Amino acid sequence: MLKKVDASQLKVGMFIHDLDCGWMDHPFVRNRFVLTSEDEIYKIRHARIRGVVIDCSKGLDIDDAPTLAQAEAALDAEVTAIAAKPVVVTRVSLGEELQRAAHIRKQAAGLVRTVMADARLGKAVELDKVGPVVESVTESILRNAGALLGLLRIKNKDDYTFLHSVSVCALLVAFCRSRNMDEDTIHQAGVGGLLHDTGKALVPDAILNKQDRLTDEEFDIIKRHPRDGYDILVKTPEIGPIPLDITLHHHERRDGSGYPDKQAEGGISELAQMAAIVDVYDAITSDRCYHKGMPAAEALRKIYEWSKFHFNPTLAQEFMRCVGIYPVGTLVLLESGRLGVVIEPHETSLLTPKVNVFFSTKSQGYIKPQTLDLSKPLGFGGGDKIVRHESAEKWQVNPLRFMNIA
């Protein structure tokens, strides 16, 4: 049986099933092992790991600890209550925006690739080329945030670094908009999001794309990228303080466990804290060379749980409302047994979006695509309900192919 316990409850003889943190955020070669010494327990606590999943069938038990299923159900209920109310309004349909969004995605990724290449050669960042791309991203988010954000869910390990920067830009712009920030601040935040990982240009590809666990020395090189990025961008004429701050501090954490400066909550700017949330969300929902991306709903649960220590809880909850439980592009299973892809959030409840259904889990085959509005009853274009998010890999389908049907 799997149980969720606090790190303070750990004892020698327990079997660690999951350390519940980023793959590079703990000092062990494996995620699963038997605790054999107090030193291992100290390392877990020293790494600021709070929640741990133990397997009671393979080691010592804690009688009053909740099962993993109970802990996750409780978290899901809290996340649903927080994130069920959307804050971003669409102005055009997904179909109208998809083609423009695809062009912007390609243009922005190409720009980030150029910025990285120039940084490796010691060339200055051409800010006059960055501004128009950020404006295009912002305009697309204003028209229909789901189009660009949905397309940005598609990444592979070869273009992850570039598309991650575009995703952080787009998500940060959407986050700022949802908080009614002024246009100049939103633009500067978008520039910061697009350029936040510029320092990774100086990280050797062998380390950046390593599939095995990083050594301490390699991780130290990775942790230099915020400072390296800042040093590159500070030489750029007319660069503003917001992009510099986001670049330098997007890995800081409110409990002081981040880097490069180990700033605590009071020392981290609001926009840097927002960028930290966005950066982690996109990272854990994306396929990487060393892990499979998780569904948005599961990622929001992680963000909410980690906000008790790592993120500003209020900002984390506002971000959850911004992206919603089922963002555009999410594969969902309906009560009818059909699979559908979310194409548009509902104006008042993100639990009842519009979905394009295209696959039957009962017949194990594709069906004629159909658009359902889950806020409406049977006979009026609805009459179904989301059971849960699903894995496209599990069903061997590509839901993004069905985002745009008539």
Is residue 259 included in any domain, yes or no?
yes
Q: Do the beta carbons of residue 208 and residue 216 sit within 8 Å?
A: no
Categorise residue 180: left if φ over 0, alpha if ψ from -120 to 50, beta otherwise: left
Between 36 and 351, the higher pLDDT residue: 36
| 98 and 209 share one domain | yes
Dist CA 125 CA 116 (whole Å): 9
- Domain co-membership, 306 together with 361: no
DSSP string, 138-160: HHHHHHHHHHHHHHTT---TTTH
What is the CB neighbour count within 10 angstroms for residue 268? 23
Mean pLDDT confidence for 209-221: 85
Q: Quick one: pLDDT at residue 272?
A: 98
For 224-254, the pLDDT digits (tens) are 999 999 999 999 989 999 999 999 999 999 9
pLDDT of 398 above 90: no
- Quickly tell me which residue has 């960028």 as its tokens: 275
Share above pLDDT 70 across residues of the chain, in percent, rounded to a whole number: 94
The answer to the question of residue 86 being in a domain is: no
The verdict on residue 367 lying in a domain is yes
Measured distance CA(239)–CA(164) in Å, rounded = 21
* Structural domains in the chain (count): 3
The CATH number assigned to the domain holding 127 equals 1.10.3210.10
How many angstroms separate the CA atoms of 81 and 303, rounded?
15
Domain shared by 309 and 341, yes or no: no
What's the whole-number average pLDDT of the chain?
89
Q: Which of 49, 66, 83 is the last residue of a domain?
A: 66
Last residue of a domain, one of 296, 323, 350: 323
Cα–Cα distances in angstroms (integers) from residue 132 to residues 80, 121, 124, 136, 184, in the given order: 36, 24, 17, 6, 13
Is 71 among the domain residues? no
176 and 48 fall within a common domain: no
Residue 53 lies inside a defined structural domain of this protein: yes
Q: Please, what sign has the CA dihedral across residues 22, 23, 25, 26?
A: positive
Report the distance separating Cα 379 and Cα 114, nearest Å: 52
Whether 317 and 384 map to the same domain: the answer is no
The string of pLDDT tens digits covering residues 154-205 is 787 778 889 999 999 999 999 999 999 999 999 999 999 999 999 999 999 8
Judgement on whether residues 292 and 219 belong to the same structural domain of the protein: yes
Residues in Cβ contact with 182 at an 8 Å cutoff, skipping those fewer than 6 apart:
none
In this model, does residue 128 exceed pLDDT 80? yes
pLDDT tens digits along 285-314: 987 776 778 888 889 989 999 998 899 999
Residue 84 lies in a domain: no
Q: Are residues 336 and 393 in the same domain?
A: yes
Same domain? For 314 and 338 the reply is no
User: Is residue 230 situated within a structural domain?
Assistant: yes
Residue 86 banded pLDDT, cuts 50, 70, 90: low
- Pairing of β 365-373 and β 15-18: unpaired
Q: Is residue 135 part of a domain?
A: yes
Of the three residues 300, 323, 346, the one that is the final residue of a domain is 323
pLDDT digits (tens, 9 = 90+) for 360-394: 999 999 999 999 999 888 766 678 899 988 888 88
Residues 284 and 346 both lie in one domain: no
Residues 293, 336 share a domain: no
Are 307 and 375 found together in one domain?
no
**Pick from 144, 159, 60, 64: nearest CA to 99:** 144
What is the CB neighbour count within 10 angstroms for residue 360? 14
Domain limits for position 17: 2-66
| pLDDT attached to residue 25 | 60
Chain-centre distance for alpha carbon 197: 15
pLDDT interval class at 23 (50, 70, 90): very low
pLDDT digits (tens, 9 = 90+) for 88-126: 567 888 889 999 999 999 999 999 999 999 999 999 899
Q: Are residues 158 and 55 in the same domain?
A: no
Q: What is the pLDDT of residue 82?
A: 79
